[in-house]
Amino acid sequence: MASLPILTVLEHSRVSPPPATVPDGALPLTFFDILWLSFSPVHHLFFYELPSITKAHFIETIVPNLKQSLSITLQHFFPFSGNLIVFSDTIQKPEIRYVDGDSVAFTVAESTLDFGDLIGNHPRECGKFYHLIPLSLESTKESNRVKIPVFSVQVTLFPNTGISVGMTNHHSLGDVTTRFCFLKAWTSIARSGNDESFLANGTLPVFDRLVNYPKIDEIYLKNIDVETSFFNNGYQPPRLTEPTNKVRATFILTRTALNRLKEWVSTQLPTLPYASSFTVACAYIWTCIAKSRNDELESFGFAVDCRARIDPPIPGSYFGNCVALCNSVAKTNLLSGSEGFLNAAKLIGENLHKMLTDKDGVVKDVWPIEGIFSQGIPTTMMGVTGTPKLKFYDMDFGWGNPRKLETITIDYNGSISLSACKESNEDLEIGVCLSATEMEAFVPIFKTGLEAYV
């Protein structure tokens, strides 16, 4: 007997803002957005456990509500339904443009994958998750421009078990804060059936281009090879495809463990600024991964929200990207030795302190890569996606909070994801994607390493 397909697509449709609610408009990209033009798409998965869900209820109730609430949300967050426009003439800044009739691709599917396995913390095959994220949509090329959809959604049913909501967006659309604000609005509208509660209690996005540094925009755009990336062979965003030898796993750093790590760092490095939970968590994971690999030089970077650091500061609801990179580079032997954790904490803490106290702020007339890799090009370049400051586990569409979150984006580059835990905002949940061999080495290193401090 033939086995059932892993994924069956039930419907392809498109969702637009309600008619005559959004005028045509465009948001020019700033240098914060231009930086991400050539980066991989952003993929997120939210898993919701619904043990009694039937296919009929899914199709007749849940899907229509998600579409209607998404449509209303797009009225307030119109760039999500627009397109990224990149011009062949780099004098013209790229922009996210919305015109009447633009829409979001919305896929409805059913899966035979094991829901319980997918929402676990144990190592799981990365390729399984790729069925549940919407593909990046194909671009269209005109005489002097390329048009690229920036957002798509896939909702997948696991009969009698639950559903997943997968989202893909172009990185230039916005940073994690912008995505969080959008999801808060969408889930609020989905729960209530209209936008009254959101308008009364939520925060509307600020679309004004408050980050206004044309000279820096020009420098960043010149450093993006627009002709090669978007015009010579057409825009082809990276795609996650099977088969892969990668696995993903989730690790928890409890408040108790974080406090012990902070106490150790504070005792050994009493003058270190920013010995925060974030600092020690990143340092610990960085050293564990370094010990599980055979590299020579490693880079570890993360984004810092700059909304409060622009002069004058801009609102937290500013729409778009507004983050700067804080990066540390170290030889692997400094990370994998007995003092590896302290070395990593010192590097991250000092670089973060330098960035946050820099009197010149984040706006400088330099391309951000210059000077970072003075020691050479790292063998491994890791990053962090997400932030524990934003509570993505509170995203309730009306069926309760998510059972599990997965940031599929980390599969592109071996970065890690970081968020507050579902059970306790005091604990940190860390997503790691490694080769099967590296993960086999990483798991015991992570567990036994904590015993020295906890």
Residues annotated catalytic, as ranges = 171, 396
In contact, 96 and 81? CB cutoff 8 Å: no
In contact, 169 and 81? CB cutoff 8 Å: no
In contact, 246 and 126? CB cutoff 8 Å: yes
* CB-count exposure of residue 95 (10 Å: 0-12, 13-18, 19+): buried
C-alpha R_g of the chain: 22
* 3-state secondary structure at position 268: helix
What are 247's two structure tokens? Answer: 């696995």
How far is residue 329's CA from residue 381's CA, in Å, rounded to a whole number? 9
Residue 315: name the closest of 176, 178, 169, 173 by CA.
Answer: 178
Dihedral angle sign, alpha carbons of residues 35, 99, 105, 405: positive
Contacts of residue 437, defined as CB under 8 A and 6 or more positions apart, other chains included, come to none
How far is residue 118's CA from residue 95's CA, in Å, rounded to a whole number? 37
In contact, 134 and 154? CB cutoff 8 Å: yes
How far is residue 42's CA from residue 408's CA, in Å, rounded to a whole number? 8
In contact, 451 and 288? CB cutoff 8 Å: no
Q: Which residues of 373-383 are buried (b: 16+ CB within 10 A; e: fewer)?
A: eeeeebebbbb
Instruction: Check residue 318 and report its DSSP letter.
Output: B
The continuous run of DSSP H or E covering 107 comes out as: strand 104-111
Q: How many CB atoms lie within 10 A of CB 9?
A: 12
Contacts of residue 260, defined as CB under 8 A and 6 or more positions apart, other chains included, come to 453, 454
In contact, 285 and 432? CB cutoff 8 Å: yes
Contacts of residue 374, defined as CB under 8 A and 6 or more positions apart, other chains included, come to 329
How far is residue 405's CA from residue 195's CA, in Å, rounded to a whole number? 25
* 3-state secondary structure at position 184: helix
